[in-house]
Amino acid sequence: MEREYKSFYKAVGGNEGGKCHYATRLDTYGCGCQHDCSYCYAKSLLEFRHNWHCMEPSIADSKKIARKVKTLRRGDFVRLGGMTDCFMPMELRHRVTYNTIKALNDQGVSYLIVTKSDIVARDDYVDVLDKDLAHIQISLTCTDDGLYRALGIERAVPPSRRVAAAEKLSALGYDTQVRLSPYIPQFIDVERLAQINCDKILIEFLRVNSWVKRWLDIDYSEYTVKQSGYQHMPLERKLDYIGRVRGFERVTVCEDETEAYEYWQKHFNPNPNDCCDLRKKEPKK
């Protein structure tokens, strides 16, 4: 039986909310994600509460979302796909994200889409995306389809389809980024990465807790910095791995650990006030 997702709108606080420039989330689905990624922090927060349903996530009511959107102001900003990917396979049946995008367009509210799916680049979705309001990040964790299938760490579409989606949207003029999220260096071929036809890349390193260690079988010896219940790579190792990434005009880093966050903000990110480095336009009047 399909469950309604009632907590679809939330302004995130705490350590994460204080660092994220786009802390207001509008999730079209919740309490699970069909992609069921092994490293997912949302999964780690919900699994121990027995509230993670990867095969049957809850579904937000499009009409309730539309009513909420009407309370927002022109020029406001929301993030789609914060706790659950807004373009899971079930979106093709329920179309909640599609209807939400239409409502946001009508209200003049900008939106950041973060997804591991290529549905966002289907023609019917491209037709509804507003180039002045839409910002799209296509997440990669691996660059090789064969390795991706062997790893079994996600249930999303293979990397080649995500790359094709990012390249299509970028070529059409949408504000598009490849998002290495999380950037696990042993899964990324930097030579293949450099061949992607997209000007922008955002890098977010893995953050590790006991649940992630249980689900994701990798070497954690480099994750020696502890903060807020997570383990992180030290800044010097992150700098080394980022130095290997090339082929993009703009490289920016999304960070949760405080020392590294301050470094990227002051010395690395092209837009220190926006670690996503989104291309903004003044809202239409």
Q: Judge whether residue 217 has pLDDT over 70.
A: yes
What confidence category does residue 129 fall into, taking pLDDT thresholds of 50, 70 and 90?
very high
pTM, full prediction: 0.92
pLDDT at 166: 98
CATH of domain 9-267: 3.80.30.30
Residue 16's nearest CA partner among 225, 274, 236, 258 is 258
The per-residue pLDDT for range 70-83, each reduced to its tens digit, is 999 999 999 998 78
pLDDT at 146: 97
pLDDT at 111: 97
Q: Judge whether residue 28 has pLDDT over 70.
A: yes
Q: So where are the chain's domains?
A: 9-267
pLDDT at 157: 97
- Tokens 């996503």 belong to 276
